[in-house]
Amino acid sequence: MTDVKGQGAQTHAMAELTLRGVILGALITLVFTAANVYLGLKIGLTFATSIPAAVISMAVLRLFATGTILENNIVQTIASAAGTLSAIIFVLPGLVIIGWWQGFPYWLSACTIALGGILGVMYSVPLRRALVTGSDLPYPEGVAAAEVLKVGAGSREGLEENKRGLAAIVASAVSAASFSIIAKTRILAEEAATFFKFGAGATSVSTSFSMALIGVGHLVGLSVGVAMFIGLLISWVGLVPYLTSPLPAGAELSDIVGTAFRMKARFIGAGTIGIAAIWTLLKILGPIVSGIRSALVANAARKSGNAASLDITERDLPIGIVGGTIVAALLPIGILLWVFAQGGPIAANPVPVIGLTLAYVLVAGIVIASVCGYMAGLIGASNSPISGVGILAVLGASLLLAAIYGSGNSDPSQTQALIAYALFTTAIIFGIATISNDNLQDLKTGQLVGATPWKQQIALILGVLFGALVIPPVLDLLNSAFGFAGAPGAGPNALPAPQAALISALAKGVLGGDLDWKLIGIGAGIGVVVIAIDELLGKSGKLRLPPLAVGMGIYLPMALTLLIPVGALVGHLYNRWALRQANPEFAERMGVLMATGFIVGESLFGVAFAGIVASTDSDAPLALVAENHWSVPLAILVFAGVIAGLYARLKRWSSDPLT
């Protein structure tokens, strides 16, 4: 702490929360938030935007003589908050999937996202001392972002590193977008799948040729990659063949396998995800309670002294403002709930139900903010299993409504209204989860570079507001162009929206009275076994087996997961090579930046392609040829060749001396 305080004393006169920094953060937000929304709807994962935002910010602010490390930190804080908030798409599209919404009402959606995100910021303020300055949590992404900012803070080597980092992002982004463009012409295949008999049943092997998945695998690391591969094997080698046996005579294998996976196997995966999330909560309750207690003690000590003597790195938003904002936010949230409830059974007697909902949001928000903040500190925002938290949140909201109105209502329209209300409530809570998952990571970065916490907390609120303004139109564009799998009228090119589909299915199952708890129980049993194995591996100091990653491997389609373990292996081999270089930290960061470029390039093209589809009213506007049998082998050769070539170039960029 001494070094940090000393740094704070030296940096207090630096420009920090500036207008140009806010504008730059908003512009970066447009790009990364759109990319994250598309990626999340396609594969159910989002990526951390702190490091690429920091690199871009440094490159731009280098053009100004007065640019500072603290100003760059504000830019990455705004961009990362907005980028992380895009995980709201794990819930909100569920309202379209169940047929309650046909699109995304702009102000209703934006206000819902903004209020949940602002609550997430407020809840995480008192957690900063407990989980950032007063703990030894590693905060991998926060530390990495701080190192990037420090390296680029003024040296010629830092300038050269920024140039190479940008070159890595641009090269991989252009390559990923170019491959996607060619695939849309149908010269190269986008996916490959084969269905076959396996034992007494049947299964499938499939993959999408997605450079974004390679990038995701590189970023999540080997442990998560291995865990997802094991989940994939459990699902497609074990569960699906068992669930499809015995095969009926003359059956169409693709239909049988697809139905078994969608209707049964994914709910087993949901059970695994749910039990893993509960286990994570139980493990960290003790540290969270003691940390919050120490934060309250520290706050009381500050009140008894001279607040002006505090180092800038110790100055948070005043706790009175934090508490007042939380209480004040309940009124507009209540109004939103009242507006949303119109046309359903809750409208007949709204006050007690909305009152209970607000209490649920308040209490669940505190718990979830603590859990997600701790998980981000432990394994990073990208790896945090907030989808598991979403599952628990929607189950809680659904069970609350089921206790009041019962389940299996004879009026389907009434049941649908209750399901929609449960999803809307969960969307608010999920906004708290996503932002608290990111905030403490950013505040750790700020602590390491000598930033002022209250200014960062203001920047986080600005990031939430920018994200809330951007996300609804992007969702509307993707919905009108592709639709979401399972929604009424969704076409063959519909985006899977895996978490939103699962969370809406759970709400429907609880309130409709037809949830197969046996499947959830089987998944929970698998989760218990995986948790036991993970704990044994942890005690032996070996590679871990994250239970939530196993659950995701079971739940997600193979086409969306197979390349993530491949990317994790590629990233692991690259990082081992990086450790042998003269500047291993720089070499490893270059890998992170290139992996991010894969995601950004493909995702941004996906958003642009959605605009083309929407404007042309064609699901294949770029197709130049009919589908042909050469497209798959050509795709394999080109895909592998481009990945290999880029990593070879990356090694040259990373090993040449910085001059």
pLDDT tens-place string over residues 183-198: 989 899 888 989 998 8
Give 561-615 as a 3 state SS string: CCHHHHHHHHHHHHHHHHHCCCCHHHHHHHHHHHHHHHHHHHHHHHHHHHHHHHH
Q: What is the pLDDT of residues 552-587, one digit of tens each?
A: 789 878 887 899 899 999 999 999 999 998 888 889
Rounded to the nearest integer, the mean pLDDT of the chain is 82
The residue that leads in pLDDT, 398 or 619, is: 398
Q: Which of 221, 229, 211, 213 lies closest to 572, judged by CA? A: 221
Query: Of the given ranges (5-14, 120-129, 133-142, 450-459), which has the lowest mean pLDDT?
Result: 5-14
Question: What is the token pair recorded at 586?
Answer: 């720089």
DSSP track, 337-358: HHHHHTTSGGGGSHHHHHHHHH
Question: What is the token pair recorded at 247?
Answer: 């095969």
495 by DSSP, 3-state: which? strand
What's residue 9's pLDDT? 41
Residue 123 has pLDDT above 60, yes or no: yes
137 pLDDT tier (thresholds 50, 70, 90): low
284 pLDDT tier (thresholds 50, 70, 90): low
Question: What is the token pair recorded at 68?
Answer: 């500072």
What's residue 150's pLDDT? 73
Q: pLDDT > 70: what percent of the chain? A: 85
In 116-151, which positions are buried (b, 16+ CB within 10 angstroms) versus exposed (e)?
bbbbbbbbbbbbbbbbbbbbebebbbbbbbbbbbeb
Q: With beta carbons less than 8 A apart as the criterion, state whether 271 and 395 touch.
A: no
Residue 433 has pLDDT above 80, yes or no: yes
Q: What is the pLDDT of residues 345-362, one digit of tens each?
A: 888 888 999 999 999 999
The CB-side HSE value for 255 (13 A sphere, CA atoms) comes to 5
Question: What is the token pair recorded at 169?
Answer: 């992002």
Q: Reply yes or no: is the peptide bond before residue 246 cis, omega within 30 of 0.
A: yes
Residue 4 has pLDDT above 50, yes or no: no
208: β partners? 191
Name the E strands within 96-154.
none
Cβ neighbours around 306 below 10 Å, total: 7
Cβ neighbours around 355 below 10 Å, total: 13
Question: What is the token pair recorded at 440?
Answer: 């403490």
What's residue 8's pLDDT? 43
Residue 372 has pLDDT above 60, yes or no: yes
Q: Which of 28, 46, 29 lies closest to 37, judged by CA? A: 46
128 by DSSP, 3-state: which? helix
Q: What is the pLDDT of residues 80-91, one digit of tens each?
A: 877 677 778 888
**Amino acid making up residue 49:** T
Residue 2 has pLDDT above 50, yes or no: no
Q: Which residue has the tokens 């209750």?
A: 418
Residue 164 has pLDDT above 70, yes or no: yes
Q: What is the pLDDT of residues 229-273, one digit of tens each?
A: 999 999 999 999 999 988 887 778 888 998 899 888 988 988 888
Q: With beta carbons less than 8 A apart as the criterion, state whether 25 and 466 touch.
A: yes
Q: Name, of 57-71, 106-120, 305-319, 430-444, the range with top average pLDDT.
A: 106-120
647 pLDDT tier (thresholds 50, 70, 90): very high
Per-residue CA distances from 6 to 142, 147, 311, 316 (Å): 20, 17, 9, 18
Residue 383 has pLDDT above 60, yes or no: no
Q: pLDDT > 90: what percent of the chain? A: 22
Q: Which of 221, 144, 111 lies closest to 152, judged by CA? A: 144
Q: What is the pLDDT of residues 5-61, one digit of tens each?
A: 344 444 445 777 888 888 888 888 887 787 778 777 876 666 667 777 777 887 788
Chain Cα centroid distance, residue 563: 18
